[in-house]
A and B are shown apart, each in its own frame.
Chain A
Amino acid sequence: MIGGLFIYNHKGEVLISRVYRDDIGYVSMEQSFGWKMRNAVDAFRVNVIHARQQVRSPVTNIARTSFFHVKRSNIWLAAVTKQNVNAAMVFEFLYKMCDVMTAYFGKISEENIKNNFVLIYELLDEILDFGYPQNSETGALKTFITQQGIKGQTKEEQSQITSQVTGQIGWRREGIKYRRNELFLDVLESVNLLMSPQGQVLSAHVSGRVVMKSYLSGMPECKFGMNDKIVIDKQGKGAASDDAGKSGKQSIAIDDCTFHQCVRLSKFDSERSISFIPPDGEYELMRYRTTKDIILPFRVIPLVREVGRTKLEVKVVIKSNFKPSLLAQKIEVRIPTPLNTSGVQVICMKGKAKYKASENAIVWKIKRMAGMKESQISAEIELLPTNDKKKWARPPISMNFEVPFAPSGLKVRYLKVFESKLNYSDHDVIKWVRYIGRSGIYETRC
């Protein structure tokens, strides 16, 4: 299992170090060497943080010791082990650890870590025992790891904490009360596209998330429904045939989905129904992925012409492809330019375009754009003559945007809340649903 955990700043200085197992401490034969591999801490600094090369792997093996690392802004988190550990688990744990820290003190920065080091040690003690990850749900942790210290707990409170931390519903505590029972559902999708210069879709998929903010009293039992093709078809079989045809059109085929640990997976597996007792506050209920019948909100049509050896002419047309009543926002088109660009002249019909020499790209920004519209930009790029034989790699044109619908076509059909012990029913709960589609990696080759 995990032998130790270290947090470094970008200079390679250790901010937090927690060693769980002795075996990682000292690597054989190192002390007298010029490389100063005094121990695991130094080995990682020398070989990864200060390595001249780009990171070639998130897992590094130095002198039979394995280092897993993730980077958040300029902070490195490294887990160290000498055993054949579950690698996926270690990374999941590192991400989780980032989440927990963020939930406690906000952004993961050197300053925040230094200011909260006592808290971090306390957390590490709780969520990783002898290298085995333990309950790391923020909701549960916050009940007994606080910066104020635990004051005057009664015996009932104590056992409530422990039963929650170890219990079946580790993510929610009992006795939550709200005057107004309210829940928010956000369907957040990112649409990914790779298109050939000729307009052929090479690959496209939507990865979506359903994020829920719940402010519900008691231990509410929830059931979530969406226009999942399998569910609708199943129901359609029972209902009248014309009805099935109708709903079949609106349903979507979900390639795969994963759920928060509160969802009863065996029930989903057998009945494909999504039932759960939600954590309090914000969390991610599910993730899903679709590849069929995706609405591509924008189409990019590039035209690049090389005029002699010192000039390039670029014309890019973007077309919006959704209901005219909807508005896309934060549109940005990034057109890469060669490294030897000396000057750029741009003309665009809409928005603002600028050549950013430091990023080697023309960045074209449009604040808003309605559906079924078209806009274009043309640019003349002057090049410095070079004798570099190597051709310019022509990176793809990428695009960013935000649209107020789900490109996968997913629709929330219901979210029912049942709480038998308290006297509020499903229709007393105020529910909000919102759809946001964003660009993931949305690229067109040119």
Chain B
Amino acid sequence: MMCDFLFSLVCTGEIFELKAELNSDKKEKKKEAVKKVIASMTVGKDVSALFPDVVNCMQTDNLELKKLVYLYLMNYAKSQPDMAIMAVNTFVKDCEDPNPLIRALAVRTMGCIRVDKITEYLCEPLRKCLKDEDPYVRKTAAVCVAKLHDINAQLVEDQGFLDTLKDLISDSNPMVVANAVAALSEIAESHPNSNLLDLNPQTINKLLTALNECTEWGQIFILDCLANYTPRDDRESQSICERVTPRLSHANSAVVLSAVKVLMKFMEMLPKDLDYYGTLLKKLAPPLVTLLSAEPELQYVALRNINLIVQRRPEILKHEMKVFFVKYNDPIYVKLEKLDIMIRLASQANIAQVLAELKEYATEVDVDFVRKAVRAIGRCAIKVEQSAERCVSTLLDLIQTKVNYVVQEAIVVIKDIFRKYPNKYESVIATLCENLDSLDEPEARAAMIWIVGEYAERIDNADELLESFLEGFHDESTQVQLQLLTAIVKLFLKKPTETQELVQQVLSLATQDSDNPDLRDRGYIYWRLLSTDPVAAKEVVLAEKPLISEETDLIEPTLLEELICHIGTLASVYHKPPSAFVEGSRGVQHKRLPGSSAAGVSEAPPAVIPSQGDLLGDLLNLDLTPPTTTGPPPPASSGMQMGAMDLLGGGLDSLVLLCDPQMGTGFGAPPAAMPASFNVPVSGGLDDLFDLGVSLEIPNKMIFVSVQVWLPAMKAKGLEISGTFVRRAGVIQMEMTLTNKAMSVMTDFAIQFNRNSFGLAPAGPLQVLTPLSPNQSIEAALPLSTVGPVMKMEPLNNLQVAVKNNIDVFYFSCQYPISMLFAEDGKMERQVFLATWKDIPNDNESQFQIKDCHLNSDAASNKLQGSNIFTIAKRTVEGQDMLYQSMKLTNGIWVLAELRVQAGNPNYTVSTICLVLEICRIIN
């Protein structure tokens, strides 16, 4: 921006020159000058200073010059609304020009000058133009109503333009009809309940007639509008379908896709035994296949849509498998989509071909593609039972290649195959175990651990294998830790004699040394189970698991229905409802297929694997659901508030202790010191001291703030970030848990802060090295420095953060506790303290009370020292203890405080004083 600024400064000379040329008498010179102005505008130079001079050129009969001036006006009118009024007269005059091209140009441009003041002048000319004799002017005026509505909706309604627009649907010219439809559809979107586009059989008939005659773009507008109509009965539905099907042969892919949308929707209303229904199904396949010979970008859009169509009506394309075979030169985004559809179309009839192809793909170069191909082989095995054996042997072949990511991906899918066909392919376990060391991705490690735990009785050295993972327990990701815990418990239940030590080790690691609530919870639950009733434990942990469903990665039925209504649009490309990416009221209304409620019941919804949040599922260790599942998003267990944790932890704890005497199963008593080692804020009254949720009870100089969800998954395409700020040994850290609740892998994380009051900035890059798979969370600690750029924020401790990943950039803001910024060297010399206290004007003092604190002054001072608030002196006056304290912020600002403690009165009075008033406030 700085650069641009300099640039425009340098050009001041040029601007004077242009000014002279613009005011020249010669037409040619004028035109050249305007061209130069537009050229500068394009490259981003600021030429708004020339506004009056350019507007002066507007009154000309040279159409080209006029267009240039209009272009300039559209760009700068908004920044100079008062000047823009100067142009109004010319516009009004141009709207009455005998040349229709000029009339249209004027009305088109006026709509683009988005200045509120101008709109009232626009109404009269617009009204005339809507009734113009020339269709070119009318079609332009129709769009202009939409423009005006965007600036001032009320005005459009008051002036009755909407009715005029409705009349245009019956216009004799097809293009006018198309534009009127487009404008009405857009306006209707922002008034969901207005019934503006009052579609009835008569209007539908008009639209269908215009459909045959208008431009390709007009056909798209009309088809998209038709898709919003709900026919009254199957007969009407069929007759519309009959008139829409010819569009499937249009050269424009968008026309084809929009026609497909109309047909897919209206087909719902046709009885399935109707001959026409079958004919229609047959007619749909060829055009869809033809879309695949379009340009790659369109292929991508088509493939994303075909993916939806195949899920809704698999019968349409079931014989077309071959066209989805990947070509070597396809762009990667086309390859990945084709692969997806191949799996959806895989059936017993074509599985051999599909497998041969997939094996071929698994040797390609692009890592993502290869992974997906390997995963696809696994999915085929689950989908087509007859092919399972072939798939497994193919996967084993791939494991032999020793290519790291292929091996890992193969192990992940083999785990799913075991789930689907228990006790069938265990012979391959030996081969899998050979590759134990090469696994470095959490998902693969977790899968391998699951396999070892599940088949512990058949693996002789299962305990050794699991023990080897245990060494680095704390460095593992949560997914692996949880899995390891479960696997060892399973092992113990299967071979209790030799694995006691191991199980104790893992339980204590999980419950005592971990600060992950999920892990601790699960640890305690197992511990209690094992200690109270080993038989019940066996029943719970080794219970038979429900089989996983055949179809994975299905879009949830109601969402699918909605997406079918959006075929061809962005929603169908993203596979998300419009409300997920469109701001404001537009597109918020949910579209549904007609008569779908009946259809929905008849087709049994596919059994979806229980998802992570399910407690019972958890105990049954079903958390290793294939990442391809689309269950409802698990509740934010990781974002659980610490307070709740405390209750649970404490409660469990006492229960465990109660059970203690009965422990005859060879269990040692859980360590008595357990509660103390919790890093949970014990709710002492001092909690409230700084009103920011700071608790000061933590022994090892740690300041804790409860974990908050900073970035909910809904706002960030499935990425959830929760976290807290911590000061550990003088280093401020931002501890975050990133959870992937989307359905695709997230990679390339980066973080950046906006300038803030205390110059907080990341001291290093965000350490999220491994890709974050769906339903996985990862913890990351980001050390912060305080030497970044400074800008005052409101409130002072506000921090705006941007997190980037492969999907997008997300913004959130959070507030950090100011106490985090208290430096260790915040102890002031007595003399200095006294002098400073006097220097600071009284106005800068602020007072507040802390209620219900039952600590005496010494204890309080000790506690406070823990968070770098140092007591300099203590005075006792009339039974009141006065503590004088100092703290220093990282940016060198001192804060002095006086804390009055009256014996017997649980309320403290604190006066803080500081040079900077605002800091006083925030500290309070």
Instruction: Enumerate chain B residues within 8 angstroms of A194, measured Cβ to Cβ.
Output: 325, 327
* A-binding segment of B86-94, B210-218, B514-522, B638-646: B210-218
8 A Cβ contacts from A46-64 to B: 47, 53-59, 61-64
Does B440 belong to the interface (CB within 8 Å)?
A: no
Q: Which residue of B lies closest to A394 (CB)?
A: B363
Q: Is A432 an interface residue (CB 8 A)?
A: no
Contacts of A170 in B (CB 8 A): 175, 215
- Chain B residue numbers with a CB within 8 Å of A36 are 1
CB-CB nearest in chain A for B111: A130
Write the chain A residue with the least CB distance to B748.
Answer: A53
B647 part of interface (Cβ distance < 8 Å) = no
Establish whether residues B215 and A16, one from each chain, have CB atoms under 8 Å apart when the complex forms.
no
| Residue A224, interface by CB 8 Å | no
Number of A-B pairs, beta carbon distance below 8 Å: 291
Known: A32-B791, A38-B1. A58 touches B297 (CB 8 A): yes
Instruction: Scan residues 236-261 of chain B and give those whose CB is less than 8 A from a CB of chain A.
Output: 243, 245-247, 249-254, 256-258
Name the CB-closest residue of B to A20. B112
Which residues between 218 and 242 of chain B lie within 8 Å of chain A, taking CB atoms? 220-221, 224
B754 (CB) vs chain A CBs: closest residue = A32
Assess whether B136 is in contact with A33, with CB atoms less than 8 Å apart. Answer: no
A268 CB contact (under 8 Å) in B246, B300, B748: B246
Contact indicator B139/A166 (Cβ below 8 Å): yes
Residue in B closest to A23 when the chains form the complex, CB atoms: B583
Query: Do A269 and B217 have beta carbons less than 8 Å apart?
Result: no
Give the one of B143, B402, B403 with max A CB within 10 A: B143
CB neighbours of A165 from chain B (8 A): 136, 175
Contact partners of B599 in chain A: CB under 8 A: none
Question: Cβ of B98 < 8 Å from any Cβ of A?
Answer: yes
B730 CB-CB contact with A under 8 Å: no
Contacts of B817 in A (CB 8 A): none
- On whether the beta carbons of A84 and B802 are closer than 8 Å, the reply is no
Q: Which of A121, A256, A261 is within 8 Å of B252, CB to CB?
A: A261
Whether B42 pairs with A17 at a CB distance below 8 angstroms is yes
The stretch of B339-347, B477-485, B563-571 that contacts the partner chain: B563-571
Interface size class of A (residues with CB under 8 A): 35 or more
- Across the interface, which residues of B come within 8 angstroms of A53, CB to CB? 748, 806
Tell me whether B5 is interfacial, beta carbon within 8 Å. no
CB <8 Å contact, B215 and A203: no
Chain B residues with Cβ below 8 Å from A86 are 220, 224, 254, 257-258, 568-569
Contacts of B144 in A (CB 8 A): 130
When C-beta atoms are compared, the residue in chain A nearest to B363 turns out to be: A393
- Knowing A89-B568, A167-B173, A261-B250, say if A35 contacts B136 (CB, 8 Å): no
**Minimal beta-carbon separation of A276 from chain B (angstroms):** 12
Contact A88 B257 (CB under 8 A): yes
Interface status of A441 (Cβ within 8 A of chain B): yes
| Interface range for B | 35 or more
How does the 8 Å CB contact mask read for B65-79 relative to A, with 1 for contact and 0 for none? Answer: 001101100000000
With known contacts A29-B800, A86-B569, A117-B38, A166–B135 Cβ distance under 8 A: yes
A338, chain B: closest CB distance, angstroms: 12
For chain A residues 379-406, which have a beta carbon within 8 Å of chain B?
389-391, 393-396, 398
* B residues less than 8 Å from A37 (CB atoms): 809
Interface residues in A10-35 by Cβ distance below 8 A to B read 13-17, 20-23, 28-29, 32-35
Chain B residue nearest to A265 in the complex (CB) = B246
Q: Mark B170-190, 1 if CB is under 8 A from A, else 0.
A: 000111100100100010000
Interface string of A423-445 (1 = CB under 8 A from B): 00000000000000000010101
Determine if A87 and B332 form an interchain contact, defined as CB atoms under 8 angstroms apart.
no
- The reply to whether the CB of B654 lies closer than 8 angstroms to some CB of chain A is no
Q: Which residue of chain A lies nearest to B150 when distances are taken between CB atoms in the complex?
A: A21
Whether A207 sits at the interface, judged by CB under 8 Å, is: yes
Could you say which of A34, A86, A144, A255 has the most chain B C-beta atoms within 10 Å of its C-beta? A86
* A310 part of interface (Cβ distance < 8 Å): no
Asked whether B349 is an interface residue with its Cβ less than 8 Å from the other chain, the reply is: no
Q: Are A162 and B135 in contact (CB under 8 A)?
A: yes
Residues 198-240 (chain A) with a chain B CB within 8 angstroms = 202-203, 205, 207
Q: Chain A residues near B134 (CB, 8 Å)?
A: 159, 162
* A residues near B39, Cβ cutoff 8 Å: 117
Contact of A203 among B252, B322, B402, B569 (CB under 8 A): B322
A125 neighbours in B (Cβ, 8 Å): 67, 70-71, 108
For B114, give its contact among A22, A47, A62, A266 (CB under 8 Å): A22
Would A134 and B217 be within 8 Å (CB), given that A55-B331, A393-B364 are in contact?
Answer: yes
Candidates B174, B327, B569, B752; contact of A168 at CB < 8 Å: B174
In whole angstroms, what is the CA distance A393 to B370 when docked? 11
Residues of A119-159 at the interface with B, using a CB-CB cut-off of 8 Å, are: 121-122, 125, 129-130, 132-137, 144, 149-150, 153, 155, 158-159
The answer to whether B568 touches A441 (Cβ under 8 A) is no
Contact between chains at A1 and B186 (CB < 8 Å): yes
Q: Determine whether A345 belongs to the interface, using a CB cutoff of 8 Å to chain B.
A: no
A162–B806 Cα gap in the complex (Å)? Answer: 48
Which residue of chain B is the closest to A71 with respect to CB atoms?
Answer: B297
Tell whether A118 is near chain B: CB-to-CB under 8 Å.
yes
A418 at the B interface (CB under 8 A): no
Q: Are A87 and B136 in contact (CB under 8 A)?
A: no
Decide: A87 near B568, CB < 8 A? Known: A59-B300, A92-B298, A125-B108. yes
Residues of the A chain whose Cβ atoms lie less than 8 Å from the Cβ of B42: 14-17, 117
Cβ–Cβ contact A207 & B293, under 8 A: yes
Q: What residues of A have a CB within 8 angstroms of the CB of B808 in the complex? A: 61-63
Q: Is there contact, CB below 8 Å, between A135 and B253? A: no
Task: State which residues 258-312 of B face A: CB under 8 Å.
Answer: 258, 286-287, 289-290, 293, 295-298, 300-302
Enumerate chain B residues within 8 angstroms of A205, measured Cβ to Cβ. Answer: 323
Give the docked Cα–Cα distance between A23 and B213 (Å).
33
CB contacts (< 8 Å) of B224 on chain A: these are: 86
Q: Verify B143–A129 contact, CB threshold 8 A.
A: yes
- Answer whether A54 and B332 are a contact pair too, CB < 8 Å, given A1-B186, A86-B220, A166-B175: yes
Rounded to whole angstroms, the CA-CA distance of A64 and B571 in the bound complex is 12
Of the candidates B67, B174, B216, the one having the most CB atoms from chain A within 10 angstroms of its own CB is B216
Which 4 residue pairs spanning A and B have beta carbons closest together? A256-B286, A162-B136, A88-B254, A269-B246
Residues of A within 8 A of B (CB): 1, 13-17, 20-23, 28-29, 32-38, 47, 53-59, 61-64, 66, 68-70, 81-89, 91-95, 117-118, 121-122, 125, 129-130, 132-137, 144, 149-150, 153, 155, 158-159, 161-163, 165-168, 170, 194, 202-203, 205, 207, 255-261, 264-266, 268-269, 284, 286-287, 289, 389-391, 393-396, 398, 441, 443, 445
Given contacts A134-B179, A258-B290, 4 further A-B contacts (CB under 8 A): A33-B802, A62-B808, A132-B221, A256-B290
Cross-chain pairs A/B with CB under 8 angstroms, 23 sampled = A15-B42, A16-B42, A20-B112, A29-B800, A35-B752, A38-B1, A54-B332, A59-B570, A89-B217, A94-B297, A95-B298, A118-B35, A130-B112, A130-B146, A162-B100, A194-B327, A205-B323, A258-B250, A261-B251, A265-B246, A393-B363, A394-B363, A443-B327
